[in-house]
Amino acid sequence: MRLVLLGVPGSGKGTQGEVLAAHYGIRHVSSGDLLRHEVAAHTPLGEEVKSFIDDGELVPDELVFSVVAGALDDAARAQGYILDGFPRTLAQAQRARASAPPAGIAVDAVVYLDLSDKVARSRLSGRAAEGRVDDGDSVIERRLAVYHHATQPLLGFYRALRLLRAIDANAPIPQVTATIIAAIDASAA
Ligand code: ADP
């Protein structure tokens, strides 16, 4: 099973990614977590990506691929993966389809967590108290704008490939999880 999660920041990709990975016994690969890990460990790559993350801007593709590729190679050899935060642009999606392991970074279904900016904003500003440096108000606005500009076009890309499954992400977490699992299992059957 190879899944991609799409949705505005705050739509629940990280939370659902973890729950779904446990449910299907697959790896949860979060590009944001991988990048933040590099920052926290003060690696050269971490030093390079820090300002992009802090400002709510996209990290350049080469750097993103360098952290995601290793994790995906491992996950692809195992039972599969759930990608959270990657691909994030059309260029990343096209390159992912074309690049390694055997037939590219394959995708069986794309789960779109549909949530308004208004609800996303209130969830993210609640999370700021938990200490993520990119959850301040102006950076939240920038991340939402970047999402609409750069990531939203992926909905059309994956819809055309008949992979997109839209889920109402307003519901409580367990209900969203159940809806996703039902949608994935129905399309896999
Ligand atoms: P969210 O979806 O809540 O914005 P993420 O953890 O997915 O949070 O991403 C946090 C930040 O990490 C992004 O704002 C961006 O700077 C960087 N990032 C993560 N994934 C990618 C990616 N695929 N391409 C470019 N930048 C990325």
Residue 179 CA to ligand 1 center (angstroms) comes to 25
Contacts of 85 (CB under 8 A, 6+ apart): 5, 13, 30, 31, 32, 33
Residue 174 CA to ligand 1 center (angstroms) comes to 24
Active site residues: 13, 88, 127, 132, 143
Q: Is the pTM of this model over 0.75?
A: yes
Instruction: Give the residue whose CA is nearest to atom 23 of ligand 1.
Output: 86
Q: What are the structural domains, with CATH classification, of the chain?
A: 2-188 (3.40.50.300)
pLDDT (0 to 100) of residue 98: 83
User: Which amino acid, residue 3?
Assistant: L
9 lines ligand 1 (CB under 6 A): yes
List Cα–Cα distances, 180 to 127, 177, 186, in angstroms.
23, 5, 10
Q: What's the burial of 183, exposed, middle or buried (CB within 10 Å: 0-12/13-18/19+)?
A: middle
Residue 180 CA to ligand 1 center (angstroms) comes to 22
5 lines ligand 1 (CB under 6 A): no
pLDDT (0 to 100) of residue 188: 74
pLDDT tens over the chain, length 189 residues: 899 999 999 999 999 999 999 999 999 999 999 999 999 999 999 999 999 999 999 999 999 999 998 888 777 777 789 999 999 999 999 988 887 665 567 889 999 999 999 999 999 988 776 777 777 889 999 999 999 999 999 999 999 999 999 999 999 999 999 999 999 998 876
pLDDT (0 to 100) of residue 103: 56
Contacts of 123 (CB under 8 A, 6+ apart): 10
Both tokens of residue 143?
């991340």
How far, in Å, CA of 12 to CA of 16, rounded?
A: 6
Contact call for residues 16 and 6 (beta carbons, < 8 A): no
Residue 53 CA to ligand 1 center (angstroms) comes to 7
Instruction: Give the residue whose CA is nearest to atom 12 of ligand 1.
Output: 32
How far, in Å, CA of 10 to CA of 84, rounded?
A: 12
Strand partners, 166: 112
pLDDT (0 to 100) of residue 172: 94
pLDDT (0 to 100) of residue 45: 96
pLDDT (0 to 100) of residue 77: 73
pLDDT (0 to 100) of residue 104: 60
Choosing from 88, 117, 124 the residue with most ligand 1 atoms within 8 A of its CB, the one to mutate for a pocket test is 88
User: Which amino acid, residue 86?
Assistant: F
Contact call for residues 29 and 81 (beta carbons, < 8 A): yes
